[in-house]
Amino acid sequence: MSLEQNHNSDLLDTPAHGCRYADPVVGFEETVKALECVWSSVASTGTPIPEEWKKEGNFLKNLSYADMLELRPGISNVVSRAASLVSQLRTASEVLRVLQRDFDDELESVACHLKNLKPMCGLASLPNDVMILICEFAIHSYNLDGHRDSLRAAAALRLSHICHHFRNLLISSPRFWNQISIYPKVSLEITEACIQWSREAPLDIYLTVFVDRPERSEYFEAFSKVLAHSHRWRKFTLFAVNYRPADMAWLSPTILALRNRVICPIVIENSRSIASADPEFLAPLLQEISILKDENLPQSGLEGLTPGFAWTIPRLKVLNVSHYFPYDLPALANVTTLEFAIGRGNFDYPRVLRALKSMHALEDLRVRFEGCGEDRADEEVRFHPISLENVNRITLLLVSRKLSKAGRASSQLAFYTALFCPNASELRIQFYGSGVVDDGNTAFIADDHLKYAGELFPRLSKLHLDFCQRKYPVGVVVRQLFSPAIPFHYLRHLDTLVIQCKAPLYIRMDSDAPSFLTIPALRRLSLDVARGTLVGDSNLRRWVAHYINQLRLQGDWERFQELTIRSAEFSGDFHPVELHVVEKTVPRDKVDAWCQTDYTW
């Protein structure tokens, strides 16, 4: 038995039977041939393994030891055949694995480029006018305070560095460069670029002056270049502020004098300067002037602006001043929109009234009373009334620490009652409080303003009340925060009422009002509230129900047309932004059903 086994072993080990086999070296031609077999199989059958390879593999898998002993045909070279099949499979597998790795790397790289290419192709396919609007939107997000830091021009420069297309697009669009800021650390290069790239477009000039700090030479040079283009000025804004804190007031105030642009365009020093004999300032396109002075600076700090300066500004329409009034401005009579702020300190009210009386073109008057709850006098104050025939819109901005008022006389209220506007049809009262809790028992701070509104504005048809209390204690009962009984009965001809509130809103029903006092027969009522601070929603419904019940008792319900409810979510405190707005219009026949629902925003 052992001899037979040894004999058979010797027989199978002979080279004729292919038992002594070494793996062949695979060359380039063999590799190409193997891959051709794979590609042909994929093309014909859809599978990567060729049919011949499968048959050969099945033959080798089914071959038994008995078959090898019988020495059937094709058995003599089975080892060589198996080695050849393994070599072909290994060659194809290794080549495909290398190809897969290379293709994966290339795929990842191309996919990354595709991800970056998609938005570029999307932007590149847009027409230039649409691209300009997109750039304008992107630049606007940087321009929350562009008059101080020249962020608009800086943002445009950043966008122009993205690619040549962006650069050509931005530089060829004057709208991105027509706002020029001049401030103590101004960049002369940016100023020159703005003047050049804005071409002949009207310019908006923002000038910031630290009145107690010497300026650099670049500051004067930049302003001289801008002043040379005063014929293109459309808007001029001057910010006069203190660089040092208020306790450094021992410095003498700076006297600002705009002079002849050839000799000395602007003088900023700590001694009084005398303007030149003929400092003519020609700005034929100038439509808006804003002079915003720090409250702590004296009025004399800016008096050198207008008397010694021949302002030739025939198109001036808008004037906005804060803690300062340009009484001697020659173009004052042409102003149609005037906005000015009155602070807590002494203010020359009679002189302002005389200036207002001379403004025959005035149509829109906006007055900001700062510290209106604190400006009280022990004795009653009165001013000689004036008549503003052309004024059709009045805006009062009341800035105070709380919503209630003390029962004392006020210089600001006396100034307000001296404004008789026989043709004014719209009154807007805005309140901005700092969050001091009201006790809910004192009168509302705007009571007197509404009380006299019927006499001062006999044709008043629209009233807009805007309440914004920036901060209020968390957990305090809302009625302690805002509980005014708004005296609408003084406004007999009121047609539209808008109540807007970003603070917790709760309106007290005035049940103690005399029965003979009638409320105005409104046509439209609008409630605009912030969703996050709407705690007293049920009170709003009760107040609306109470109001329409009074209209029915007076026989004026048929005159009412619609109720508009608008609710919004706000983000931010100093610059609130509306995130989500829900607006609903309720017709007259469905107002009762709305008052009875439990729906809240």
In tens, the pLDDT along 99-150 reads: 888 888 888 888 888 787 777 777 777 888 888 888 888 887 655 444 444 5
Residue 559 in tokens: 């005159």
Q: Helix or strand or coil: residue 236?
A: strand
**How far, in Å, CA of 563 to CA of 79, rounded?**
96
Helix axes 151-160, 188-197, angle to 10 degrees: 70
- Highest-confidence segment of 33-47, 53-67, 191-205: 191-205
Question: H/E/C letters for each residue in 477-512?
Answer: CHHHHCCCCCCHHHCCCCCEEEEEECCCCCCCCCCC
pLDDT at 151 over 90: no
Helix (H) / strand (E) element for 465: namely strand 462-469
What is residue 41's predicted lDDT score, i.e. its pLDDT? Answer: 80
For the chain, the average pLDDT equals 74
- Highest-confidence segment of 185-194, 470-479, 511-520: 185-194
DSSP 23: P
Helix axes 28-45, 51-62, angle to 10 degrees: 100
Which of 303-317, 391-405, 537-551 shows the lowest per-residue confidence on average (mean pLDDT)? Answer: 303-317
What is residue 274's predicted lDDT score, i.e. its pLDDT? Answer: 34
Q: Region 493-516: what's the mean pLDDT? A: 69
Cα–Cα nearest to 522, from 499, 538, 506: 499
Residue 294 in tokens: 């720090």
Longest dimension (CA), the chain: 143
What is residue 401's predicted lDDT score, i.e. its pLDDT? Answer: 63
pLDDT at 32 over 70: yes
What is residue 45's predicted lDDT score, i.e. its pLDDT? Answer: 78
Q: Region 412-428: what's the mean pLDDT? A: 93
Percent of the chain with pLDDT over 70: 67
Q: pLDDT for 37-58, tens place per residue?
A: 888 887 777 778 888 888 888 8
**How far, in Å, CA of 328 to CA of 321, rounded?**
14
**How far, in Å, CA of 466 to CA of 566, rounded?**
13
- Highest-confidence segment of 129-138, 351-360, 520-529: 351-360
What is residue 376's predicted lDDT score, i.e. its pLDDT? Answer: 58
Which of 271-275, 284-288, 344-348 shows the lowest per-residue confidence on average (mean pLDDT)? Answer: 271-275
Residue 117 in tokens: 């290419």
What is residue 402's predicted lDDT score, i.e. its pLDDT? Answer: 60
Which of 216-220, 238-242, 539-543 shows the lowest per-residue confidence on average (mean pLDDT)? Answer: 216-220
What is residue 252's predicted lDDT score, i.e. its pLDDT? Answer: 37
pTM here is 0.70
| pLDDT-derived band at 367, boundaries 50, 70, 90 | very high
Query: Residue 475 region, left (φ>0) first, then alpha (ψ -120 to 50), else beta?
Result: left
What is residue 278's predicted lDDT score, i.e. its pLDDT? Answer: 44
Which of 94-108, 178-192, 367-381 shows the lowest per-residue confidence on average (mean pLDDT)? Answer: 367-381
Do 257 and 273 form a contact (C-beta atoms < 8 A)? yes
**How far, in Å, CA of 314 to CA of 284, rounded?**
6
**How far, in Å, CA of 425 to CA of 460, rounded?**
4
pLDDT at 273 over 50: no
Q: Region 402-410: what's the mean pLDDT? A: 57
What is residue 492's predicted lDDT score, i.e. its pLDDT? Answer: 80
Q: Region 528-550: what's the mean pLDDT? A: 71
Which of 347-356, 474-483, 538-547 shows the lowest per-residue confidence on average (mean pLDDT)? Answer: 474-483
What is residue 364's predicted lDDT score, i.e. its pLDDT? Answer: 97
What is residue 251's predicted lDDT score, i.e. its pLDDT? Answer: 37
What is residue 372's predicted lDDT score, i.e. its pLDDT? Answer: 63
**How far, in Å, CA of 354 to CA of 443, rounded?**
32
What lies within 8 Å, CB to CB, of 287 at 6+ separation is 234, 235, 315, 316, 317, 318
More confident residue, 260 or 289: 289
| pLDDT-derived band at 558, boundaries 50, 70, 90 | very high
**How far, in Å, CA of 101 to CA of 479, rounded?**
71
- Highest-confidence segment of 328-337, 398-407, 501-510: 328-337
- Highest-confidence segment of 414-418, 445-449, 498-502: 414-418
Domain boundaries, given as residue ranges, for the chain: 2-117
pLDDT at 230 over 50: yes
Helix (H) / strand (E) element for 337: namely strand 337-342
Helix (H) / strand (E) element for 67: namely helix 65-69
pLDDT at 363 over 80: yes
Do 211 and 273 form a contact (C-beta atoms < 8 A)? no
**How far, in Å, CA of 87 to CA of 24, rounded?**
8
Strands 386-387 and 337-342: unpaired
**How far, in Å, CA of 416 to CA of 434, rounded?**
23
What is residue 312's predicted lDDT score, i.e. its pLDDT? Answer: 81
pLDDT at 288 over 90: yes
Q: Region 231-247: what's the mean pLDDT? A: 75
DSSP 432: E
Do 387 and 354 form a contact (C-beta atoms < 8 A)? no
| pLDDT-derived band at 172, boundaries 50, 70, 90 | very high
Q: Helix or strand or coil: residue 398?
A: strand
| pLDDT-derived band at 588, boundaries 50, 70, 90 | very high
CA 258-264-267 angle, to 5 degrees, is 55
Q: Helix or strand or coil: residue 94?
A: helix
